[in-house]
Amino acid sequence: MLKKLSFSKVIIFLLMILLLSIVIATTLGPVRIPMIKALKIIIVQLFGESVMASDWTLIEQNTVLLLRLPRVLLGAIVGASLAICGVAMQALVRNQLADPFILGVSSGASAFATLDMLFGTFAFLGAYRLSLSAFIGAAMTIILVYMLSRIKGKINMTQLLLSGVAISMIMDGITKMITLSAPNALGLHNAEFWMSGSLAGAKWDYLTLPLVTMIICMGVLIANYRTLNVLLLGDQTAGTLGVHVERMQKLLILISSLLAGVTIAVSGSIGFVGLMCPHFARLLVGSDHKKVLPLSAILGAILVIWTDVAARMILAPEELPIGILTAIIGGPIFIILLRKKQLR
Amino acid sequence: MKLDVKDLYFQYEQDHALDHVTLQVHPKSFVGVIGPNGSGKSTLLKNIYRALKPKSGTILFNEESILSMNYKKSSQMMSVVGQENEVSFDFKVEDIVKMGRTPYKKIFELDNQKDEEALIHALKQVGLEDYRQKNYTELSGGEKQRVLLARALCQEAEFLILDEPTNHLDIYYQLQLFELVKSLDLTILSAVHDLNIASQYCDYIYILQNGKIYDHGTPKELMTSKMIQEVFHVNAEVSIHPITQKPHIIFLPSI
């Protein structure tokens, strides 16, 4: 067991790494742009042309500002959202193995988003229709998995994981069928995008909704950090400690669905982030949600930024779907956690 | 703190029920509920501590119905050491005990001096002052139970419910736990498995059989070989023990 480190030191250290990661990741890609230059472009954009003279081409400026920076920032937001979504789901089912991808929530969100693209169910909602339908898909899957795995008021772990697997298979099947049957209508978003995720094609417009959603959900969760801690002791115990358990569970379902739905609408399903980041956060600072939530968010952001860098560098100029990489890293960690649970 | 349960009726989906149970607990008394497995002891307590919702009947705390009370308020009046004692997340002993302060906390509020004092006092009461920084998951069954009792004490409620907390413990820990709670200045309602322990520690006893109150009274009034034969279906001899001056039960072979 690692010695628990001072929380504020860990947070400050990781925040610095996050900032550094954002800048460095912006310089990396098929077209190499020196770090100083990229930094200058960002600074000029932030503070105006008067700060320093420009010594870069318009192509370089566009690559940094219109292609890379939004992509890196989207990665950070998606990573943070998936990590806190994992924390919320783990508190809901009282199990560290919960993750939107493992429990089929990502697949549910993807299936509903593709359904919407095909039938235009939520067309009247304009720009946010994709996010909304993904949210509905996520919510339905969470509720379904939750109900299937509850036996006599307790969450059964085997039941939980198996229903997650079954539901994600069904939902992936639906997604595949839709994307294969109507390839033209779906344009950029193909089956691979929904099932293994991608941050390619990120634009500044894509950032607002996920960012706002993440900030609100994070705020609500942090405000209720005590309740989340108490929930880990069990429903009955939580009730005797003054928690309105049912109301809190509904809130957690709502928050995890929002986080999963909104993120998946912009990035497809990127798995295991919600499993790995809370796990590492707990190793560093223990299980108190006041600490686990912010720490997981920062770890999630860093993890997705760098996995995305790897995704666009490893087979350059081809791009790997980022979800494939997170699965290769996250899968073994899931297995280790599963073994540890069984041995207890 | 006085508890008044009237005509409580409860039914699970299939069987097991409580049939018009009426029960009273007077301030500062130690009341025990005994009965064979499946008689409804735990179901009765769960209805009182709100883990289950009764179909009909009333539960009053100092003349106020608990069924319509908000959870925060009821948790300031009663604390519970229940059957859930496994935590698969990594918490320190002090984290778990401090959770007993939750009923007094507003959103965003951090721990203050008063919480710290309650924590230290509770740990002292159960004799675990040196365990603050230990990991809960690494403790023995008896230690875990004492941590959970400390959490309940940290809640500073006048009424304490023990839902068969000693079920899986060695006799040493069982006695230790009952000794401890008996010494506290609280009103206690406890399910008790062992008849000798019940007659030694309880001021008053309710006997449950198939979800109904079979009888109630002081240990001396209740503990008879007739009752034990009828309720528990075993032969027993009851005598007053010369040292404890309490009924002492010796089980006899059936032939």
Q: How many CA atoms lie within 13 A of B241 on its CB side?
A: 13
The residue extents of the domains of chain B are: 3-252
Report how far residue A238's alpha carbon sits from residue B114's, in angstroms, rounded to the nearest whole number: 22
Report pLDDT digits (tens) over A180-200: 776 565 555 566 777 788 888
List of long-range contacts for A40-48, beta carbons under 8 Å, 24+ apart: A41/A65, A42/A69
Domain total in chain A: 1
Asked if B71 lies within 8 A of A341 by C-beta distance, the reply is no
Domain membership of residue A298 (yes or no) is: yes
Amino acid at A160: L
Cβ of A223 under 8 Å from any chain B Cβ? yes
Given a cut of 70, whether residue B105 has pLDDT beyond it is: yes
Given a cut of 70, whether residue B181 has pLDDT beyond it is: yes
Residue A262 in contact with residue A210, Cβ under 8 Å?
A: yes
Report how far residue A234's alpha carbon sits from residue A228's, in angstroms, rounded to the nearest whole number: 11
Asked if A241 lies within 8 A of B99 by C-beta distance, the reply is yes
**Which one-letter DSSP state was computed for residue B106?**
P
Give mean pLDDT, residues A99-115: 90
Query: Minimal CA–CA distance to A292: which of A303, A302, A280?
Result: A280
Domain that holds residue A279: 82-343
Domain membership of residue A252 (yes or no) is: yes
Strands B17-25 vs B3-11: parallel, antiparallel or unpaired? antiparallel
Cβ of A60 under 8 Å from any chain B Cβ? no
Given a cut of 50, whether residue A160 has pLDDT beyond it is: yes
B110 burial type by CB count under 10 A (0-12 exposed, 13-18 middle, 19+ buried):
exposed
Domain membership of residue A235 (yes or no) is: yes
Report pLDDT digits (tens) over A118-149: 777 666 666 678 888 899 999 999 999 999 98
Asked if A242 lies within 8 A of B89 by C-beta distance, the reply is no
Query: Minimal CA–CA distance to B214: which of B247, B45, B60, B222?
Result: B222
Q: Tokens 């997705």 sit at which residue?
A: A304
CATH number for position A320 = 1.10.3470.10
How many angstroms separate the CA of residue B236 from the nearest CA in chain A? 36
Query: Minimal CA–CA distance to A79: which of A234, A274, A255?
Result: A274
Q: How confident is the model at residue A343 (pLDDT cuts 50, 70, 90)?
A: low
**Which one-letter DSSP state was computed for residue B34?**
E
Higher per-residue confidence, A259 vs B90: A259
State how far Cα B34 lies from the chain centre: 11
Query: Minimal CA–CA distance to A303: which of A24, A76, A85?
Result: A76
Query: Minimal CA–CA distance to A68: which of A40, A20, A31?
Result: A31
Q: How confident is the model at residue A1 (pLDDT cuts 50, 70, 90)?
A: very low
Q: Which of A20-34, B183-197, B225-239 has the lowest mean pLDDT?
A: A20-34
∠B102-A228-A279 over CA atoms, to 5°?
A: 135
Domain membership of residue A170 (yes or no) is: yes
Superfamily, domain B3-252: P-loop containing nucleotide triphosphate hydrolases (3.40.50.300)
Report pLDDT digits (tens) over B146-166: 999 999 999 999 999 999 877
Asked if A237 lies within 8 A of B71 by C-beta distance, the reply is no
Report how far residue B153's alpha carbon sits from residue B176's, in angstroms, rounded to the nearest whole number: 16
Give every CB contact of residue A72 below 8 A, 6+ residues apart in sequence. Answer: A22, A25, A26, A305, A308
Q: What is the CA radius of gyration of chain A?
A: 20
ipTM, interface predicted TM-score of the complex = 0.89
pTM of the model: 0.89
Domain membership of residue A25 (yes or no) is: no
Domain membership of residue A196 (yes or no) is: yes
Report pLDDT digits (tens) over A207-262: 999 999 999 999 999 999 999 999 999 888 999 999 999 899 999 999 999 999 99
Q: For residue A216, which phi and psi values (nearest 5 degrees)?
A: -65, -50
